[in-house]
Structure 1
Amino acid sequence: MSDYLVKATAYDGAVRAYAIQSTALVEEARRRHDTWATASAALGRMMTISAMMGTMLKGDDKLTVKLEGNGPTGPIVADSNAKGEVRGYITNPHVDFELSEQGKLDVRRAVGTEGFLSVVKDLGLKEHFTGQVPIVSGEVSEDFTYYFARSEQVPSAVGAGVLVNPDHSILAAGGFIIQIMPGATEEMIDTIEQNIASIPPISSLIQEGISPEEILYRLFGKENVHVLQHMPVRFHCSCSRERIKNAVRGLGDEEIDMMIEEDGGADATCHFCNEHYHLNVEDLKELKQAGDYQ
């Protein structure tokens, strides 16, 4: 089944809800960055949550999230947009530990428990919206829950999980975001909290073939859920050979001459997708000529 997410409301609009299956998305990131198991879980949770946050935007709006803790993974970054396109990277992909005392991948140890989570939204305005909160646990989901409450003043519950096979490929990944609107009653909130506490790990549900819709039905009861939209999600990077050439052209003739004479070409690798680009001497000479006609 292809990855997709569901947007929904519950209890006649008193709750806003998102649920996602992101297995292929996370596997593509793992393959591109050669992440080990614990690093895969950390990056996968970031990208899963970012995908849902991206679909809260409109049109060509986009956002970048960055989790910068004091653990060995280093900064983890993900980009997403309103079209369900996501990309991301982890600074140190080769991080893995023994399972935690709970028998789970020790994401907290990998990310670290001190640092910051930041969200930058490009809404097409002159100034970007930026929100930043301290890391509260390093488990990623809890850090985003705190971000929504503190930075956006929206009481939320965020859950994301990743299961990894022995060969480090991704077995299952998914998540949810539940947001409480002003019309929610205390009884509704209590019921939701109890259901979230009792539901099995999301990644386990995805592994069992439980769909994003069914996850929401388990949280709220099918009769209380109104599905608004289904949206495919995928790994997508906006880098291209043309963009790399434009960036090199912008360095100016002197810098390009140095690349030609000293390096015999130019190489660049995209942080987000790990795609490698090479420009040979002829390419560089063409860039110089193109600059002369501008």
Structure 2
Amino acid sequence: MNELLVFVCDGAPVRGEFVSLGSTWQSIVERRNDPPAVRALMGEFVAAATLLTASIKLDGTLIIQAQSQGPIQLLVVECTSQLEVRATVKLNPNVTEIPDNATLAELLDAEGSGRLAITLDPSDRKASQAPYQGIVALNRPSPSHPGLLEPIESVSEAIMLYMQNSEQLDTHVWLACGPDSVGGFLLQRLPDTGGASQYDPVMMSEGWERIQILGNTITNEELLTVSPETLLRRLFLEESTQYGVRSFPTRLVRFACRCSRQRVADVIRMLGQEEVDSILVEQGMVETTCDFCGMQYRFDPVDCKQAFASSTLTDAVRPPSKGH
């Protein structure tokens, strides 16, 4: 299963999504050997990125990026509007042991150093325009001690706060990551449109509350092992008549990396001639490995010379003679 399913309720202001990733998730982690807690966190972010991409009207790429001085130095998850995903994580070499049950706060917000951002990068963005970026809170006001902040412990809570602050939409998110798959479920309360609501006010409130209650019955095991279509039927069979639960055709989610020889040539040019020459003297060629897919790229002195001589990325590279 590598599917995303979107549904709406015609009789209540509710929109929802299910995502289930099997082989797509395996493609992301097959070359990695991350600690279980790190793997679980990355898996939940992958599910969250897929759900968010489908819920936000965007023709481009959604990027979730986290940085900290804790066990995780850098985490990046990307999902395009075509539901092509990739992800990577870099660990702090000074941290030797990570508990299997480590929380988001323990992995990303050690001593308040963590930073989590969600970036929306439209495909038609001009070079002079900056993509939209929203900062995601890693702490929240304490309900028991007003004026104090307490850490956010889970990916789902961080995503819900982001949607509330950025999109002004009440959102509930459930996420799960297992050894072989990841799953996610998102519910949103849609805003009223126009001067007169299309929904009956009583049904509008009751419908949102009722569907949230049903959503809370879902288990991690179901998210990881049951198809989105079956989950939809299980949860909302009785509500399909009252609230008009209606689904759309499932969409395929797949792993895809955007690295290329052309992009590496661009990076070489940004390094500058002096830096590249010193690498060539020391190593004989410039080598790099993509953090997302593990693809290796090698540029010998002739490749590097062509990269600097060309004014365009397409002309900057020739068919590789060694490696990729």
Q: Supply the distance in 2 between the matched residues of 1:278 and 1:214 (Cα, whole angstroms).
A: 47
Change (3 A) 1:160 1:247: same
Larger deviation, residues 177-186 vs 43-52: 177-186
Partner in structure 2 of residue 265 of structure 1: 285
Distance across 1 between alignment mates of 2:35 and 2:47: 17
Residue 173 of structure 1, CA deviation: 1.2
1:4-50 per-residue CA deviation (whole Å, 9 max, x = no partner) reads: 11122124462111111112222222223322221110001101110
Aligned equivalents of 2:64, 2:224: Cα separation in 1: 26
Instruction: Give me the whole-angstrom Cα distance separating, in 2, the residues matched to 1:163 and 1:148.
Output: 25
Deviates more, 1:43-52 or 1:7-16: 7-16
Q: Which amino acid aligns with 1:84?
A: L
Structure 2 CA distance, aligned partners of 1:233 and 1:30?
15
Cα drift, residue 289 of structure 1: 4.8
Q: Is the 8 A contact 2:36 2:100 kept in 1?
A: no
Q: How far, CA to CA, are the matches of 2:97 and 2:45 in structure 1? A: 16
Task: For 2:99, give the aligned amino acid.
Answer: F
Cross-structure match for 1:180: 189
Figure out how many residues of one structure are paired with residues of the other and give that number.
Answer: 279
1:203-254 residue CA offsets vs partner (Å, 9 max, x unmatched): x11444x211222334433623211232111121100122212321344443
**Residue 110 of structure 1 aligns to which amino acid in structure 2?**
L
Q: Which amino acid in structure 2 is aligned with residue 128 of structure 1?
A: P
Offset, 1:159? 1.3
Q: CA deviation at 1:156?
A: 0.3
Identity of aligned residues (%): 24
TM-score, structure 1 normalization: 0.83
- Relative distance call for 1:6 and 1:75 in structure 2 (3 A) is same
Q: Structure 1: where are the runs of 5+ without partners?
A: 100-104, 165-170
Which of 94, 99, 102 does residue 97 from structure 1 map onto? 99
What CA distance in whole angstroms lies between the structure 2 residues aligned with 1:97 and 1:278? 37
Work out the CA distance in 2 between the residues paired with 1:127 and 1:252. 24
Match of 1:283 in 2: 303
The residue number in structure 1 matching 2:247 is 227
TM-score, normalising length: structure 2: 0.76
* 1:212 and 2:213 matched: no
In 1: Cα distance, 2:252 partner to 2:84 partner = 9
Quick one: distance in 1 between partners of 2:279 and 2:43? Answer: 37
* Paired amino acid for 2:170: P
Equivalent position SS for 2:73:
coil
| CA distance in 1 between partners of 2:82 and 2:273 (Å) | 38
Cα separation, partners in 2 of 1:96 and 1:250, compared to 1, 3 Å = closer
Please give the alpha-carbon distance, in whole angstroms, between the structure 1 residues aligned to 2:44 and 2:169.
Answer: 20
Q: Is the 8 A contact 2:169 2:191 kept in 1?
A: no
Give distance in 2, aligned partners of 1:59 and 1:117: 20
Structure 1: distance between partners of 2:177 and 2:227 = 15
Map residues 1-294 of structure 1 onto 2, 5 A cutoff. 1=1, 3-12=2-11, 14-57=13-56, 60-68=59-67, 71-92=70-91, 96-99=98-101, 106=103, 108-112=105-109, 114=112, 115-123=114-122, 124-125=124-125, 126-136=129-139, 137-164=152-179, 171-183=180-192, 185-201=204-220, 204-208=221-225, 210-221=226-237, 223=240, 224-290=244-310
Using the alignment, how far apart are the partners of 2:191 and 2:40 within structure 1? Answer: 33
> What one-letter code is carried by the residue in structure 1 that aligns with 2:297?
Y
- Determine if contact 2:287/2:297 at 8 Å carries over to the other structure: yes
